Protein backbone atom coordinates (compact mmCIF):
# COMPACT_ATOMS: atom_id res chain seq x y z
CA UNK A 1 0.00 0.00 0.00
CA UNK A 2 1.52 3.32 -1.05
CA UNK A 3 0.62 6.98 -0.93
CA UNK A 4 1.45 9.07 -3.99
CA UNK A 5 -0.07 11.82 -6.17
CA UNK A 6 1.32 10.46 -9.41
CA UNK A 7 0.61 7.47 -11.66
CA UNK A 8 2.43 5.81 -14.51
CA UNK A 9 0.80 7.33 -17.65
CA UNK A 10 0.80 3.92 -19.37
CA UNK A 11 -0.51 1.90 -16.42
CA UNK A 12 -4.09 1.73 -17.64
CA UNK A 13 -3.30 1.02 -21.29
CA UNK A 14 -4.46 -2.61 -21.02
CA UNK A 15 -8.01 -1.68 -19.95
CA UNK A 16 -10.09 -2.11 -23.10
CA UNK A 17 -13.49 -2.69 -21.50
CA UNK A 18 -14.62 -1.14 -18.23
CA UNK A 19 -17.71 -0.89 -16.03
CA UNK A 20 -18.42 2.60 -14.70
CA UNK A 21 -20.42 2.84 -11.46
CA UNK A 22 -22.13 6.19 -10.90
CA UNK A 23 -24.07 6.99 -7.75
CA UNK A 24 -27.61 8.22 -8.11
CA UNK A 25 -26.67 11.25 -6.03
CA UNK A 26 -24.21 12.28 -8.75
CA UNK A 27 -27.19 13.05 -11.02
CA UNK A 28 -28.71 15.55 -8.58
CA UNK A 29 -26.29 18.38 -9.30
CA UNK A 30 -26.84 21.14 -6.73
CA UNK A 31 -30.39 19.96 -6.08
CA UNK A 32 -31.27 18.02 -2.97
CA UNK A 33 -33.29 15.43 -4.83
CA UNK A 34 -34.09 14.04 -8.26
CA UNK A 35 -32.42 14.33 -11.66
CA UNK A 36 -30.63 17.51 -12.77
CA UNK A 37 -30.59 17.37 -16.61
CA UNK A 38 -27.49 19.61 -17.10
CA UNK A 39 -25.52 17.37 -14.72
CA UNK A 40 -26.67 14.23 -16.52
CA UNK A 41 -25.62 15.83 -19.82
CA UNK A 42 -22.16 16.71 -18.46
CA UNK A 43 -21.57 13.15 -17.26
CA UNK A 44 -22.87 11.77 -20.57
CA UNK A 45 -20.43 14.00 -22.48
CA UNK A 46 -17.51 12.60 -20.48
CA UNK A 47 -18.68 9.02 -21.05
CA UNK A 48 -19.16 9.68 -24.77
CA UNK A 49 -15.65 11.13 -25.04
CA UNK A 50 -14.16 7.94 -23.57
CA UNK A 51 -16.38 5.77 -25.74
CA UNK A 52 -15.07 7.63 -28.81
CA UNK A 53 -11.54 6.37 -28.03
CA UNK A 54 -12.68 2.77 -28.61
CA UNK A 55 -12.96 1.63 -24.99
CA UNK A 56 -15.98 -0.58 -24.28
CA UNK A 57 -18.20 0.79 -21.52
CA UNK A 58 -20.84 -0.77 -19.30
CA UNK A 59 -22.66 1.47 -16.84
CA UNK A 60 -24.44 0.97 -13.53
CA UNK A 61 -26.22 3.91 -11.86
CA UNK A 62 -27.52 3.94 -8.30
CA UNK A 63 -30.93 5.22 -7.29
CA UNK A 64 -30.20 7.22 -4.13
CA UNK A 65 -31.22 10.52 -5.72
CA UNK A 66 -34.79 9.19 -5.96
CA UNK A 67 -35.20 6.42 -3.39
CA UNK A 68 -32.81 4.58 -1.09
CA UNK A 69 -34.11 1.23 0.13
CA UNK A 70 -31.85 0.96 3.18
CA UNK A 71 -32.94 4.36 4.51
CA UNK A 72 -36.59 3.52 3.96
CA UNK A 73 -36.12 0.22 5.79
CA UNK A 74 -34.52 2.11 8.69
CA UNK A 75 -37.70 4.20 8.82
CA UNK A 76 -39.86 1.14 9.28
CA UNK A 77 -40.57 -0.04 5.73
CA UNK A 78 -40.14 -3.75 5.03
CA UNK A 79 -36.63 -4.12 3.62
CA UNK A 80 -37.34 -6.24 0.54
CA UNK A 81 -40.13 -3.93 -0.65
CA UNK A 82 -37.94 -0.88 -0.03
CA UNK A 83 -35.09 -2.42 -2.03
CA UNK A 84 -37.40 -3.18 -4.97
CA UNK A 85 -38.48 0.46 -4.96
CA UNK A 86 -34.83 1.48 -5.03
CA UNK A 87 -34.25 -0.82 -8.02
CA UNK A 88 -37.05 0.91 -9.91
CA UNK A 89 -35.36 4.24 -9.17
CA UNK A 90 -32.21 2.98 -10.91
CA UNK A 91 -34.26 2.26 -14.03
CA UNK A 92 -35.42 5.88 -14.11
CA UNK A 93 -31.82 7.06 -13.84
CA UNK A 94 -30.72 4.62 -16.53
CA UNK A 95 -33.34 5.93 -18.94
CA UNK A 96 -32.28 9.52 -18.22
CA UNK A 97 -28.65 8.64 -18.95
CA UNK A 98 -29.62 6.73 -22.10
CA UNK A 99 -31.40 9.81 -23.40
CA UNK A 100 -28.41 12.03 -22.62
CA UNK A 101 -25.95 9.63 -24.26
CA UNK A 102 -28.03 9.22 -27.39
CA UNK A 103 -28.16 13.01 -27.71
CA UNK A 104 -24.36 12.72 -27.89
CA UNK A 105 -24.75 10.28 -30.78
CA UNK A 106 -23.87 7.20 -28.73
CA UNK A 107 -25.86 4.01 -29.30
CA UNK A 108 -27.01 2.58 -25.96
CA UNK A 109 -29.13 -0.17 -24.50
CA UNK A 110 -30.76 -0.23 -21.06
CA UNK A 111 -30.97 -3.75 -19.63
CA UNK A 112 -33.01 -4.30 -16.48
CA UNK A 113 -32.63 -7.17 -14.04
CA UNK A 114 -36.38 -6.74 -13.38
CA UNK A 115 -38.11 -7.34 -16.74
CA UNK A 116 -40.10 -4.35 -18.04
CA UNK A 117 -40.09 -4.83 -21.80
CA UNK A 118 -42.12 -1.69 -22.53
CA UNK A 119 -39.22 0.57 -21.51
CA UNK A 120 -36.00 -1.49 -21.73
CA UNK A 121 -34.54 -4.90 -22.44
CA UNK A 122 -34.43 -7.68 -19.85
CA UNK A 123 -30.92 -8.43 -18.65
CA UNK A 124 -29.46 -11.44 -20.48
CA UNK A 125 -25.72 -11.89 -20.15
CA UNK A 126 -25.08 -12.98 -23.73
CA UNK A 127 -27.09 -10.04 -25.10
CA UNK A 128 -25.14 -7.67 -22.88
CA UNK A 129 -21.87 -9.04 -24.23
CA UNK A 130 -23.19 -8.65 -27.75
CA UNK A 131 -24.09 -5.01 -27.18
CA UNK A 132 -20.58 -4.29 -25.97
CA UNK A 133 -19.08 -6.15 -28.92
CA UNK A 134 -21.24 -4.00 -31.22
CA UNK A 135 -19.80 -0.83 -29.64
CA UNK A 136 -22.94 0.07 -27.74
CA UNK A 137 -22.90 1.33 -24.17
CA UNK A 138 -24.84 -1.11 -22.02
CA UNK A 139 -26.59 0.45 -19.03
CA UNK A 140 -27.41 -2.21 -16.44
CA UNK A 141 -30.41 -1.23 -14.30
CA UNK A 142 -32.39 -2.63 -11.35
CA UNK A 143 -29.31 -3.83 -9.48
CA UNK A 144 -28.97 -7.59 -9.34
CA UNK A 145 -32.77 -7.98 -9.40
CA UNK A 146 -32.69 -9.15 -5.79
CA UNK A 147 -33.29 -7.29 -2.52
CA UNK A 148 -30.52 -6.98 0.09
CA UNK A 149 -27.83 -6.32 -2.55
CA UNK A 150 -26.51 -2.83 -3.34
CA UNK A 151 -25.79 -1.32 -6.74
CA UNK A 152 -22.08 -1.53 -5.80
CA UNK A 153 -22.44 -5.31 -5.73
CA UNK A 154 -24.46 -5.18 -8.96
CA UNK A 155 -21.65 -3.18 -10.58
CA UNK A 156 -19.01 -5.71 -9.51
CA UNK A 157 -21.20 -8.58 -10.69
CA UNK A 158 -21.89 -7.06 -14.12
CA UNK A 159 -18.22 -6.13 -14.54
CA UNK A 160 -17.24 -9.77 -14.01
CA UNK A 161 -20.04 -11.10 -16.21
CA UNK A 162 -19.15 -8.72 -19.04
CA UNK A 163 -15.46 -9.61 -18.92
CA UNK A 164 -14.44 -6.06 -17.99
CA UNK A 165 -10.80 -5.27 -17.29
CA UNK A 166 -11.68 -2.92 -14.42
CA UNK A 167 -14.50 -1.44 -12.39
CA UNK A 168 -14.39 2.34 -12.11
CA UNK A 169 -16.32 4.06 -9.33
CA UNK A 170 -17.04 7.76 -9.71
CA UNK A 171 -17.38 9.38 -6.26
CA UNK A 172 -17.30 12.74 -4.49
CA UNK A 173 -13.55 12.43 -3.72
CA UNK A 174 -10.45 11.66 -5.77
CA UNK A 175 -9.60 8.25 -4.40
CA UNK A 176 -9.45 6.12 -1.27
CA UNK A 177 -8.25 7.80 1.93
CA UNK A 178 -7.34 6.46 5.36
CA UNK A 179 -10.06 8.73 6.78
CA UNK A 180 -12.69 11.09 5.41
CA UNK A 181 -10.82 13.93 3.61
CA UNK A 182 -13.88 16.15 3.86
CA UNK A 183 -13.61 16.23 7.65
CA UNK A 184 -9.90 15.47 8.13
CA UNK A 185 -7.49 17.74 6.18
CA UNK A 186 -4.61 15.40 7.10
CA UNK A 187 -6.21 12.33 5.52
CA UNK A 188 -3.80 10.37 3.31
CA UNK A 189 -4.77 9.22 -0.16
CA UNK A 190 -3.63 5.80 -1.34
CA UNK A 191 -2.29 5.32 -4.85
CA UNK A 192 -2.95 1.60 -4.54
CA UNK A 193 -4.53 -0.39 -1.74
CA UNK A 194 -5.26 -4.09 -1.41
CA UNK A 195 -8.70 -5.65 -1.29
CA UNK A 196 -7.84 -7.13 2.08
CA UNK A 197 -6.87 -3.75 3.55
CA UNK A 198 -10.12 -2.23 2.33
CA UNK A 199 -12.08 -5.01 4.03
CA UNK A 200 -10.00 -5.20 7.22
CA UNK A 201 -9.85 -1.44 7.79
CA UNK A 202 -13.44 -0.86 6.66
CA UNK A 203 -12.34 1.81 4.20
CA UNK A 204 -15.23 3.59 2.54
CA UNK A 205 -14.87 2.29 -1.04
CA UNK A 206 -17.73 -0.12 -1.80
CA UNK A 207 -19.67 -2.55 0.32
CA UNK A 208 -17.91 -5.71 1.46
CA UNK A 209 -19.76 -8.01 -0.96
CA UNK A 210 -18.64 -5.92 -3.94
CA UNK A 211 -15.01 -5.83 -2.79
CA UNK A 212 -14.99 -9.57 -2.08
CA UNK A 213 -16.43 -10.29 -5.53
CA UNK A 214 -13.79 -8.07 -7.15
CA UNK A 215 -11.05 -9.75 -5.11
CA UNK A 216 -12.18 -13.27 -5.97
CA UNK A 217 -12.16 -12.40 -9.69
CA UNK A 218 -9.02 -10.23 -9.62
CA UNK A 219 -11.00 -7.25 -10.87
CA UNK A 220 -9.21 -3.93 -10.24
CA UNK A 221 -11.39 -1.15 -8.80
CA UNK A 222 -10.41 2.44 -9.60
CA UNK A 223 -11.93 5.18 -7.44
CA UNK A 224 -11.95 8.75 -8.79
CA UNK A 225 -13.80 12.06 -8.50
CA UNK A 226 -16.63 12.05 -11.00
CA UNK A 227 -17.08 15.80 -10.63
CA UNK A 228 -13.59 16.64 -11.87
CA UNK A 229 -13.70 17.61 -15.53
CA UNK A 230 -12.19 14.78 -17.57
CA UNK A 231 -11.94 12.56 -14.51
CA UNK A 232 -13.20 9.42 -16.23
CA UNK A 233 -10.76 9.79 -19.13
CA UNK A 234 -7.89 10.61 -16.77
CA UNK A 235 -8.19 7.24 -15.01
CA UNK A 236 -7.86 5.41 -18.31
CA UNK A 237 -4.89 7.51 -19.43
CA UNK A 238 -3.13 7.20 -16.06
CA UNK A 239 -3.27 10.92 -15.34
CA UNK A 240 -4.97 12.79 -12.53
CA UNK A 241 -5.73 11.54 -9.04
CA UNK A 242 -7.35 8.20 -8.32
CA UNK A 243 -6.81 5.04 -6.29
CA UNK A 244 -6.64 1.49 -7.62
CA UNK A 245 -7.83 -1.31 -5.36
CA UNK A 246 -6.15 -4.56 -6.38
CA UNK A 247 -4.05 -7.42 -5.02
CA UNK A 248 -1.20 -5.09 -3.99
Domain boundaries, the chain: 1-14+173-248, 17-164
What's the pLDDT at 65? 93
Looking at domain 1-14+173-248, its CATH class is alpha beta
- What are the pLDDT digits (tens) for 17-33? 999 999 999 999 888 89
What's the rounded Cα separation, in Å, for the pair 184 and 182?
6
Segments in the chain forming alpha helices (H): 37-52, 69-74, 79-102, 125-133, 151-161, 195-200, 208-216, 231-237
Contact at 8 Å (CB) between 243 and 195?
Answer: no
What's the pLDDT at 155? 98
The mean pLDDT value of the chain amounts to 92
Distances (CA, A) of 232 to 166, 170, 239, 240: 13, 8, 10, 10
- What are the pLDDT digits (tens) for 40-84? 999 999 999 999 999 999 999 999 999 876 777 778 889 999 999
Interval 109-131 mean pLDDT? 97
Confidence of residue 13 (pLDDT cuts 50, 70, 90): low
- What are the pLDDT digits (tens) for 201-234? 999 899 999 999 999 999 999 999 999 999 999 9
Helices vs. strands in the chain: H and E counts, helices first: 8, 11
Distances (CA, A) of 231 to 21, 110, 175, 207, 225: 13, 24, 11, 23, 6
Q: What percent of the chain has pLDDT over 70?
A: 94
* Domains 1-14+173-248 and 17-164 are alike in CATH topology: yes
Q: Would you say domain 17-164 falls under CATH 3.90.1640.10?
A: no
Amino acid sequence: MTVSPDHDPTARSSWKRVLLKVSGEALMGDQGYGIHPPTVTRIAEEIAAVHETGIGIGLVIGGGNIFRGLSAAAGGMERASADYMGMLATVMNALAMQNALERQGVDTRVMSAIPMQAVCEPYIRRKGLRHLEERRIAIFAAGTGNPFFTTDTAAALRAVEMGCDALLKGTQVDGVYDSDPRSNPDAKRFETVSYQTVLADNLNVMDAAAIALARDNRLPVAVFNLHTSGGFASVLSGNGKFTVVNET
